[in-house]
Amino acid sequence: MSYKQTKIFNVDKINDEDKKREYISDAALWISEGEVVAFPTETVYGLGANALDEKAIAKIFEAKGRPSDNPLIVHIANRDQLSELVTEITPAAEKLMEAFWPGPLTIIFKKKGPIAPNVTAGLDTVAIRMPSHPLALKLIKAANVPVAAPSANLSGKPSPTTAAHVYHDLQGRIAGVVDGGSTGVGLESTVLDCSVHPPMLYRPGGVTIEELKEVVGEVAVDPSLKNTEDAPRSPGMKYTHYAPKGSLTLVHDVSRIQALLDEAREQGKKVGVLTTEERAAEYKADTVIACGAREDLSTVAAKLYEALRQFDQENVDVIYSETFPNEGVGAAIMNRLEKAAGGRVI
């Protein structure tokens, strides 16, 4: 499906509250009528469609070029919607919703009701979250339907943290984009399966495993975080994601990076390095990107996808990246970098 023009609902750049409400109402109407509209959340931009409409959901897969065996996250605006979509809310799920909703935590429940089958890729569970971004909540409320929304990018590419990123990838492939400015967290939500005991982490994200354990105690980590050959049980578990055009390699020993850059340049490659503010001045490369501060990894998370897209803009052939502690938000950063690198680690 193609569109002559993807409409931008420029909510971020206007001060007229009546106009903002009009834009949100129009975008919500499109979603309720079966169109696909991108919108901001506190994590990344999502590509939203009516989660009850199988044909509308098919448009998401078509627009992204996303494999249809990859389930989607359903976004809701209030708890009343949840009871219509799941068979049981476990005590663990109840505690987690109280602690982290609205926010960047997706919880997997046993499903029921009218959710379109292609939302869940044939599974008997459904992934649901309540975003905290005010525009997302207003849009979902106005649409008056649960909204399935993966990241609003071409499948496999870095997720979008601005409306411009969405437009670059999906212009002419979707009906519209609600421009709400830059997102905050910068990485997708944490995905936790509460249909099993103990709850199982399928994707690290904006809520850390340490924070989850503080609320519910034991949390298991699914081994398929690193081995995703089987059909995925949640969004974000399968296929190479977040990848820039250039070849990305992760390097644990930062003392080796400059030699690797020099070797690639001698081969005629345009080279780049992904680092932090603390070390940016140490490297000589065609493109050096300081992705936040190592002393505050939340700044790295917020800028990671923008940095990967910047390498594309600079037409970098080979990228070497520093690595980060695999704990706290660093676990989510490393999860995304490992997928973007496709297993290339030194």
Contact 148, 60 (CB under 8 A): yes
- 45 in a labelled binding site: no
- For 88, counting Cβ atoms within 10 Å of its Cβ (0-12 exposed, 13-18 middle, 19+ buried), the class is exposed
DSSP 8-state secondary structure symbol assigned to residue 62: H
- 70 in a labelled binding site: yes
- 243 in a labelled binding site: no
Contact 277, 248 (CB under 8 A): no
- 189 in a labelled binding site: yes
- 129 in a labelled binding site: yes
- 242 in a labelled binding site: yes
Question: Which residues in 207-252 belong to E strands, given as ranges?
Answer: 220-221, 247-251
- 252 in a labelled binding site: no
- 287 in a labelled binding site: no
CA dist 160 and 329 (Å) reads: 19
Contact 322, 276 (CB under 8 A): yes
Nearest to 71 by CA among 83, 61, 62: 61
Angle at 212 between CA 211 and CA 216, to 5 degrees: 125
Binding-site residues sit at 43, 66, 70, 75, 125, 129, 149, 151, 159, 189, 203, 242
Binding-site residues for ATP sit at 66, 70, 125, 151, 159, 203, 242
Binding-site residues for L-threonine sit at 43, 75, 129, 149, 189
